[in-house]
A and B are shown apart, each in its own frame.
Chain A
Amino acid sequence: MSWGETLRTALEAVRSHRMRSILTMLGILIGIAAVVLTVGLGQGAQAEVRAQIDKLGSNLLIVSPGSSTTSGVRGGRGSASTLTTDDAAMLGSQVVAPDIARVAPVTSTSSSLTAGETNWTTTVVGTTPDWLGTRARSMTSGRFLTSADLDSGALVTVLGSTTASELFGGRNAVGQSVSVNGSTLTVIGVLDTIGSSTSTDDDDQAVVPQTTMANRISTATNRAAVSTIYIEATSQETLSAAYQEAQSALLSAHRLTAATADFTLASQQGLVETATSTDRTLTVLLAGVAGISLLVGGIGVMNIMLVSVTERVREIGLRKALGATPTAVRRQFLLEASTLGLTGGVLGVAAGAAGALLLPRFLDQPVTISGLAAGGALAVSLVIGIVAGVYPASRAARLAPIDALRSE
């Protein structure tokens, strides 16, 4: 008997026990839908984290000062003032670090800004024009700092969207004046809203030229010190090269070895990895639970196939008497089991996809259904069907026609 003929027979058998077939498929359906959905949830969460971190600026390296030691007590990271504007300038040199595209040193302090009758305490950030690109920010209105502003120590500032609305309400902030620590600054632009990505609100800050910060606003004793240097590599591929260059340039400038380094160099990649690995753990856990339900579904298929073989002993015997070889009988039952598995899988992927469309409405979680996950789930359901069918099918094939016909 040909495969096509056998498939037809198998489909007829599945159809003639409709209720049982549907219930059996339900086990596979639920398992596959659960796997598709949990993997989709995990992938969605990972994509979200990645997008959030990308918002901070891609290809980013962050240099923080090392810890200070006062009377033997070591302060936390960034407590020392070991990084200077000279370090930033050196890292920006093409000769020293060819894989570094842009460098933005940042000095920040918390200050009160006053505009007319209103005042607002925010973070004042002293930096260079490259900050905008390095942090992947853009402008809503006005312009960002220029090299001229930096060189002349111009009394200008660019406000975050939150800061602008706190100080000026709905009015246009550009062209207005704010005073900080006795200096009056002109607002030349407002940053686009980015949303809070980490613990700090990136929309609540006032950006000023680094020179203005050092000369007019900062109260620190070491006016050349910077609290962070943001480094942007030329591309994703050169990120590790840029890391090496920054590391060795800073070490040689500070005349230190890696063991005694007075700064910390962190890459965005590391952040992404930490965040995604947490999500991945959760996904694997959930998918494991879903996988168990899929396994139970597979056992259900095997169980029902065994029942089917027992129940249809007479039919098997008859088919053998009429000339069905053991191979033909085995094929028929294998195809029946695979049909149950694959149909359950197709319906399960459909149910999972439907869940992926509905779930984000109730849960604030994006769900990504990839073709790979769906295809994999289908393959798994087919394999489960086949594996679950092997034993019942071989039992059916081994039945002796006389024993089978004899049974009442």
Chain B
Amino acid sequence: MSSRIIDTGAPQPVPYSDPYSGGSTDPGPDPLGQPPILSLREVRKVYATGTQEVEALRGVTLDVEQGEYVAIMGPSGSGKSTLMHILGCLDSPTSGTYSLAGSDVSGLTEAELAEVRNARIGFVFQQFNLLPSLPAWRNVELPLCYAGTPRDERRERALHALDRVGLGERVDHKPGELSGGQQQRVAVARALVTDPALLLADEPTGNLDSRSTADVLGLFAELHASGRTIVLITHEPEVAEVAERTIRVRDGLVETPAAAVPGAGALR
């Protein structure tokens, strides 16, 4: 099983060393002494549909460092969605390990995974996925409800998060009263409200026009500049361009141009 990592050569604000380029199987601490936020080792995912088994991921190994802005790209059917689900703790790998912010989450129960998602991951979806009956601020406070945060603090933090995404004036609007770009901003505020270690965006601009796309990507760039770790899943190259690094997924494997990673095929 081989996995290779591509470095697109985008400018990197933090020194980044590919732990695999030297042929080592142990990523070790990075030069800043911080463990990676995301660390996947030989992750496989097999779906059983009736008698057929579909291997969606065939042994993915990758790391994402603190403060990185990474785009995951790949055609449909490449396993990129499965990868995103595993990264988001929405699904567990069939084999391999996955560490999120330093702790192994591969073997957790569903209830424990729910807590991890709640505390460490902020999701932004293509469909926005806002509850239409609730005003913007109630949508934003939702993750805090499941965290058991007191009511007053929830409202305060929700309003602050909406302010952060530039919707401080529209906290009482229901999703139906907001434009697509604004709805996605509400969703970003919801993802930020728990102050998660990772912002995971699944085709966040898939349902937006070009102006709203620029709007949302601008917001992501701002968040990245302030130190957020962002993983963005997309099939649009122009969206992937805004990230510092692009990881390409094809046929259940992470691929990289052969020239960029000498010796990478020798893993395990």
Residues of A within 8 A of B (CB): 1-2, 5, 9, 12, 16, 314-315, 317-328, 400-402, 405
Do B91 and A319 touch across chains, with their CB atoms under 8 A apart? no
- Given the complex, which residues of A lie within 8 Å of B59, measured CB to CB? none
> What CA separation (Å) do A95 and B216 show in the bound complex?
106
Chain A residues within an 8 Å CB radius of B119: 323
Given known pairs A5-B145, A401-B90, the reply for A327 and B129 (CB within 8 Å) is no
Chain B 113-137 near chain A by CB (<8 Å), digits 1 or 0: 0110111000101010101011000
> Is B10's CB within 8 Å of the partner chain A?
no
Specify which chain B residues have a CB less than 8 angstroms from the CB of A9 in the assembled complex: 145
Q: Are B117 and A405 in contact (CB under 8 A)?
A: no
A322-B190, A400-B91, A402-B91 known; A314+B143 contact, CB < 8 A: no
User: In the complex, what residue of chain B is closest to A12 when comparing beta carbons?
Assistant: B133
Given the contacts A327-B111, A405-B129, A322 and B146 also touching, CB distance less than 8 Å:
yes
Q: Are A324 and B129 in contact (CB under 8 A)?
A: no
| 8 Å CB interface, B192-216 against A | 194
CA distance A323 to B194 in the complex (A): 11
Is B85 in contact with chain A by the CB < 8 A criterion? yes
What B residues does A319 contact at CB under 8 A? 142, 146
Taking a contact as CB atoms under 8 Å apart, the answer to whether B148 and A1 are in contact is yes
CB pair B114 A320 closer than 8 Å: yes
| B interface residues (Cβ-Cβ under 8 A, vs A) | 85, 88, 90-91, 110-111, 114-115, 117-119, 123, 125, 127, 129, 131, 133-134, 142-143, 145-148, 190, 194
Distance of A312 from chain B, by nearest CB (Å): 10
Q: Do residues A328 and B129 form an inter-chain contact, with CB atoms below 8 A? A: no
Count of A-B contacts with CB under 8 A? 63
A309: shortest Cβ distance to chain B, in Å? 16
Residues on B with C-beta less than 8 A from A402 are 85, 90-91
B111 close to A321 (CB less than 8 A): no
Does more than half of chain A's interface fall in helix, strand or loop, or is it mixed?
Answer: helix
Contact B148 A322 (CB under 8 A): no
CA distance A323 to B90 in the complex (A): 10
| A326 adjacent to B111 (CB under 8 Å) | yes
Task: Identify the closest chain B residue to A17 (Cβ).
Answer: B133
26 pairs, CB–CB < 8 Å, chain A vs chain B: A1-B146, A5-B145, A9-B145, A12-B134, A317-B129, A318-B125, A319-B142, A319-B146, A321-B117, A321-B123, A321-B129, A322-B117, A322-B118, A322-B190, A323-B146, A323-B194, A325-B111, A325-B115, A326-B110, A327-B111, A328-B114, A328-B146, A401-B90, A402-B85, A402-B91, A405-B129
> A72–B40 Cα gap in the complex (Å)?
108
A241 to chain B, nearest CB (A): 67
Interchain CB contact under 8 A, B143 and A322: yes
- In the bound complex, residues from chain B placing their C-beta under 8 Å from that of A2 are 148
Q: A1-B146, A2-B148, A402-B91 are in contact. Are A324 and B131 (CB under 8 A)?
A: no
- By the criterion CB–CB under 8 Å, are B143 and A323 in contact? yes
Question: B117 touches which one: A12, A323, A326 (CB < 8 A)?
Answer: A323
Residue of A nearest to B187 (CB): A318
**What is the chain A residue whose CB lies nearest that of B134?**
A12
CA distance A314 to B129 in the complex (A): 8
Chain B residues, Cβ within 8 Å of A405: 90, 125, 129
Q: Given the interface contacts A1-B145, A1-B148, A401-B90, does A323 sit within 8 Å of B111 by beta carbon?
A: no
Name A16's closest neighbour in chain B (CB-CB): B133
**Docked pose: A317 CA to B143 CA in angstroms:** 13
A322 in complex: contacting residue of B85, B123, B134, CB < 8 Å: B123
Nearest Cβ in chain B — how far from A323, in angstroms?
2
CB <8 Å contact, B131 and A321? no
CB <8 Å contact, B123 and A324: no
CA distance A189 to B75 in the complex (A): 110
Task: Output the nearest chain A residue to B115 by Cβ-Cβ distance.
Answer: A323
Give, as a whole number of angstroms, the nearest-CB distance from A228 to chain B. Answer: 76
Determine if B147 and A323 form an interchain contact, defined as CB atoms under 8 angstroms apart.
Answer: yes
List B contacts of A317 (CB < 8 A). Answer: 129
The smallest beta-carbon distance between B202 and chain A, in angstroms, is 9
Chain A positions within 8 Å of B127 at CB level: 314
Which of B85, B114, B131, B134 makes the CB contact (< 8 A) with A323? B114
Determine the distance from Cα of A321 to Cα of B145 in the docked complex, in whole angstroms. Answer: 13
Closest B residue to A329 by beta carbon equals B114
Q: Which residues of chain A come closer than 8 Å to B118, judged between CB atoms?
A: 322-323
A290 to B4, CA, bound (A): 70
Q: How far is the CB of A362 from chain B (nearest CB, A)?
A: 44
Q: What distance in Å separates the Cβ of B192 from its nearest Cβ neighbour in chain A?
A: 12
- Apart from A323-B194, A328-B114, A402-B91, what are 13 other A-B pairs with CB-CB below 8 Å? A2-B148, A12-B133, A314-B129, A315-B131, A319-B146, A322-B142, A323-B117, A323-B119, A325-B111, A325-B114, A325-B146, A326-B114, A405-B125
Q: Specify which chain A residues have a CB less than 8 angstroms from the CB of B142 in the assembled complex.
A: 319, 322
Smallest CB–CB gap between A203 and chain B, Å? 70
Whether A324 pairs with B88 at a CB distance below 8 angstroms is: no
Inter-chain contact A321/B88, CB cutoff 8 Å: yes
CB pair A321–B90 under 8 Å, yes or no, is yes
Cross-interface CB contact of B146 among A314, A315, A324, cutoff 8 Å: A324
Determine how close the nearest CB of chain B comes to the CB of A399; give it in whole angstroms: 11
Complex contacts, B91 vs chain A, CB 8 Å: 400, 402
Specify which chain A residues have a CB less than 8 angstroms from the CB of B110 in the assembled complex. 325-326
Contacts of A327 in B (CB 8 A): 111
The docked-state distance in angstroms from the alpha carbon of A31 to that of B147 is: 40
Bound complex: CA A1 to CA B125 (Å): 23
B133, A318: Cβ atoms closer than 8 Å: no
Q: Please, which residue of chain A has its CB at the minimum distance from the CB of B118?
A: A323
Q: How far is the CA of A238 from the CA of B88 in the complex (A)?
A: 80
Contacts of A323 in B (CB 8 A): 114-115, 117-119, 143, 146-147, 194
